Amino acid sequence: MKVLVLGVDGYIGWPLALRLLSRGHQVSGADSFFTRKRVKEVSSDSALPIQSFSRRNSFLRDTTGKEIEFFRGDVSDPDFIYDMISETEPDAIVHLAEQRSAPYSMLGLKQASETMQKNIISTMNLIYAVKDIVPESHILKLGTMGEYGTPNVDIPEGFFEVEFNGRKDYLPFPKNAGSWYHWTKVHDSNNLMFANRVWGTRITDVMQGVVYGTRTADIVDANQFTRFDIDEVWGTALNRFCAQAIASLPITPYGKGGQTRGFLSLEDSITCLTIGLEKPPAKGEYRVFNQFDQHYSVMELALKVKEVYEKEYGHKAEIKHVPNPRVEKEEHYYKPESRKLRELGYKPQGDLQKDLVRIMEDLSGYRDRIEKLKQVIMPKTVWEKSSGFSH
Amino acid sequence: MKVLVLGVDGYIGWPLALRLLSRGHQVSGADSFFTRKRVKEVSSDSALPIQSFSRRNSFLRDTTGKEIEFFRGDVSDPDFIYDMISETEPDAIVHLAEQRSAPYSMLGLKQASETMQKNIISTMNLIYAVKDIVPESHILKLGTMGEYGTPNVDIPEGFFEVEFNGRKDYLPFPKNAGSWYHWTKVHDSNNLMFANRVWGTRITDVMQGVVYGTRTADIVDANQFTRFDIDEVWGTALNRFCAQAIASLPITPYGKGGQTRGFLSLEDSITCLTIGLEKPPAKGEYRVFNQFDQHYSVMELALKVKEVYEKEYGHKAEIKHVPNPRVEKEEHYYKPESRKLRELGYKPQGDLQKDLVRIMEDLSGYRDRIEKLKQVIMPKTVWEKSSGFSH
């Protein structure tokens, strides 16, 4: 199968490309290095050192004889995406090339609008390029479990039976996201659902939980590391907690820490995406996967990190509740369904205890790097106060 | 009250400004003349001749001693909207300044993306400008009943009680729009709901039906006419049918004509918007109005236009079903609720028979103009075939 990975330089894009290559697929990829640039702008860096994309690709060629056909460019540019899809004629396109930071999107109007434009327009470009050039191809799009928010009912996989005033219909489950970033994913999902309705495009819309981890089965050498962000803007909860422990900083759940979310290991994420690609939707099908392994409260995870760190390293770890910068419920019901991927063969390999040991082991080799990033690990952005355009 | 009307040169913006002035409010307004320009681009024109904005404003000053403080510019430019709101410090802002044509949004990627950008970014600019400069002000935003699509259950006003797997919550009703244009309105609604959640902004989100008519109580002279679009791209069903009858063209319902929508007269639209402004939401409130008078199927309206025309003008009118360019159900359940505006005092004045007589009377004075537009009145765009970026 020929797969085009948009965002191939990213946390998920890179290990996905490795997996697809090792499974015998032909992989091309695009990246604008937007995340590398934006992470630098907040004076941060990947906690694990990563090579330039061309060096990564050289290492891949030298060790496996395979490489990724790479296109440098921005998928919010329609010419770039049309030309690339004409040239590669992929069977499937994985869209991971969006602005992916919720805190970044909440910094102010400029960042909010940039996130809206980049994310929505890239998906529109992809919809039209597929329709015009490779209408049988499968779009696998990365969304987020955060699209649903935290309703007081179970969360189905995309659609559910509604009963209202005595009548019934099968409708999209109402979304209720918690940041501009998360809303762009909702807008994308809606646009994809509509494209499928008008043109019958094959679409898998992945509502993914929070991914954690440094490794997949294909990452066996430091030269193959994928980026690992730990700062307030670009890092995510569990990965950040591990880095805080390793840097002897307090572990900082936001507010009460009762916020519950679906989580999955990087290995499981790559497995799920690969299943989605290798078992594509039928012509005319739009399907939604809720992609996660387990759900945890943020406080449970903070305690788990503390426990593992103290056991493995023999030092005390501190948990420090910090004021929640986000506008979200800190105690709530949470029961999302996640059946479809399991029905297609997904068997979660995540083992939180072992995974945390491995993450900390990888990070502890780069303690100096992480300690230099201390200033950007602790939270500062407050969403309610996110500033306007000219301020 | 000081009201800023974005899109003050438009079909609804102009008569709304007249009404607000006549009720003693202070009115400022903005327009980029986007609609005038785009209508020209499809070789069309308003069926009723309208003056330039400055002449309209002069006529207003000469006849009433009042005028609109006018700002020419594009609300998708954040500097423009920040400066204008700083200068005018309005108590309420009515946002009517979006790309409003569903067929235009479906022409191809360029128009689809332009509609996404212009509409979503203008609303983002407005959200931040209000938060930063006039946080107590009320945003009244024009959405559309088309955001809901045509579910097989009743349509509530924005929110409803969900029961799923034995638990309950009160959630946004799922949207299911039928064109990129309609989806931008959904995205705006979601963004406004989120702004209200984070910053407590007072918001009225109006799900408006299809508006018809040439007159309001304030339009008593041809110098006060508001634009009246009848072409395939910029016109709307009932107004177009009237023009077709007057121009001795067939009346063209799409497909079977069973598509049912909420409709209201221009007079009723202006009345509802005025009620929304004069009875604003509380601080922290986001409210949704379903704003229409009656619902009709497209075929009912075609027959009604035929009947009125034949009775009034003594000539035969022909109804010709044309292939439906849209992707929509042509027979479906439709029962939207519309209570909130009535509870606030809205008493519909629309009388379809009388309103149609009046529209035809106004149009028949400009039969020559309309006959020149024959080429653009008949439908040609086919949404399933809407073209890509470079084609």
Catalytic site includes residue A82:
no
Question: What is the C-alpha separation between B97 and B16, in angstroms, rounded?
Answer: 13
Q: What is the pLDDT of residue A165?
A: 94
Q: Which CATH number does the domain B2-378 belong to among 3.40.50.720, 3.30.70.920, 3.30.565.10, 3.40.50.300?
A: 3.40.50.720
Chain B residues within 8 A of A164 when measuring between CB atoms: 153-154, 156, 160
Given pLDDT bands bounded at 50, 70 and 90, which one contains residue B390?
Answer: very low
The alpha carbon of residue B82 is apart from the nearest alpha carbon of chain A, in Å, by 8
Best of B152, B157, B196 to disrupt the A interface by mutation (most A CBs within 10 Å)? B152
A183·B190 Cβ contact <8 A: yes
Residue A378: other Cβ atoms inside 10 A: 15
Q: Name the strand (E) or helix (H) holding A30.
A: strand A26-31
Q: Tens digits of per-residue pLDDT, B97-117? A: 999 999 999 999 999 999 999
Does B391 score more than 60 pLDDT?
no
Q: Tens digits of per-residue pLDDT, B52-89? A: 999 999 999 999 999 999 999 999 999 999 999 999 99
Minimum Cα–Cα distance from A166: chain B residue: B153
Tokens of B314: 């003594």
Question: Could you please report the per-residue DSSP string of A317-338?
Answer: --B--B---S---SS----B--
Residues facing B391 on adjacent strands: none
Question: What is the C-alpha separation between A42 and A54, in angstroms, rounded?
Answer: 24
Dihedral angle over CA of B45, B50, B53, B55, nearest 10: 140
Given pLDDT bands bounded at 50, 70 and 90, which one contains residue B253?
Answer: very high
Q: Name the strand (E) or helix (H) holding A12.
A: none
Catalytic site includes residue A144:
yes
Annotated active-site residue in A11, A104, A148, A181: A181
> Complex ipTM above 0.85?
yes
Q: Which of B173, B190, B389 sits opposite A128 (nearest CB)?
A: B389
Residues facing A263 on adjacent strands: A210, A294
Q: What is the pLDDT of residue B389?
A: 52
How many distinct helices (H) and strands (E) make up chain B?
A: 14, 12
Chain B residues within 8 A of A149 when measuring between CB atoms: none
**Best CA proximity match to B211, nearest among B240, B244, B233, B187:** B240
Nearest 5°: the CA angle A188, A190, A191 is: 65
B67, with CB counted inside 10 A (0-12, 13-18, 19+), is middle
**Best CA proximity match to A96, nearest among A270, A347, A333:** A270
Question: What is the largest distance, in Å, between two alpha-carbon atoms of chain A?
Answer: 65
Tokens of A95: 């869209």
Annotated active-site residue in B185, B271, B274, B296: B185
Question: Could you please report the per-residue DSSP string of B244-279?
Answer: HHHTTPPB--BTTS--EEEEEEHHHHHHHHHHHHHS
Q: Which of B108, B129, B389 sits opposite A82 (nearest CB)?
A: B389
Taking CA atoms, A63 is separated from A8, A56, A221, B3, in Å, by 19, 11, 11, 68
Q: Assess contact for B75 and B97: CB atoms under 8 A.
A: yes
Does B246 score more than 90 pLDDT?
yes
Best of A186, A191, A334 to disrupt the B interface by mutation (most B CBs within 10 Å)? A191
Minimum Cα–Cα distance from A159: chain B residue: B174
B381, with CB counted inside 10 A (0-12, 13-18, 19+), is middle
3 state SS of A74: coil
Question: Could you please report the per-residue DSSP string of B113-170?
Answer: HHHHHHHHHHHHHHHHHHHHH-TTPEEEEEEEGGGS---SS-B-SSEEEEEETTEEEE
Taking CA atoms, B318 is separated from A68, B246, B324, in Å, by 62, 11, 18
Considering the segment(s) A2-379 as one domain, its CATH architecture is: 3-Layer(aba) Sandwich (3.40)
Q: Tens digits of per-residue pLDDT, B274-286? A: 999 999 999 999 9
Question: What is the C-alpha separation between A148 and B190, in angstroms, rounded?
Answer: 12
Catalytic site includes residue A148:
no
3 state SS of A5: strand
Best of B106, B159, B165, B196 to disrupt the A interface by mutation (most A CBs within 10 Å)? B165
Question: What is the C-alpha separation between B191 and B127, in angstroms, rounded?
Answer: 9
Task: Work out the average pLDDT over B239-255.
Answer: 95
Q: Which of B110, B152, B198 sits opposite A384 (nearest CB)?
A: B198
Q: Assess contact for A376 and A240: CB atoms under 8 A.
A: no
B128·A108 Cβ contact <8 A: yes
Q: Tens digits of per-residue pLDDT, B329-367? A: 999 999 999 999 999 999 999 899 999 999 999 999 999
Q: Which of B175, B197, B389 sits opposite A327 (nearest CB)?
A: B197
**Best CA proximity match to B291, nearest among B211, B190, B389:** B211
A191·B169 Cβ contact <8 A: no
Taking CA atoms, A259 is separated from A146, A249, B34, B150, B296, in Å, by 12, 22, 45, 35, 46
Query: How big is the A-B interface in CB pairs under 8 Å?
Result: 161
HEC string of A239-277? Answer: HHHHHHHHCCCCECCECCCCCEEEEEEHHHHHHHHHHHH
Q: Report the half-sphere exposure of A321 (CA within 13 A, side-chain side).
A: 11
Q: Assess contact for A236 and A270: CB atoms under 8 A.
A: no
The alpha carbon of residue A188 is apart from the nearest alpha carbon of chain B, in Å, by 10
A112·B128 Cβ contact <8 A: yes
Nearest 5°: the CA angle A240, A51, A31 is: 85
pLDDT (tens place) for every residue of chain A, 391 residues total:
999 999 999 999 999 999 999 999 999 999 999 999 999 999 999 999 999 999 999 999 999 999 999 999 999 999 999 999 999 999 999 999 999 999 999 999 999 999 999 999 999 999 999 999 999 999 999 999 999 999 999 999 999 999 999 999 999 999 999 999 999 999 999 999 999 999 999 999 999 999 999 999 999 999 999 999 999 999 999 999 999 999 999 999 999 999 999 999 999 999 999 999 999 999 999 999 999 999 999 999 999 999 999 999 999 999 999 999 898 999 999 999 999 999 999 999 989 999 999 999 999 999 999 999 998 998 776 677 776 654 3
A109·B124 Cβ contact <8 A: yes
Q: Which of A82, A176, A383 sits opposite B172 (nearest CB)?
A: A176
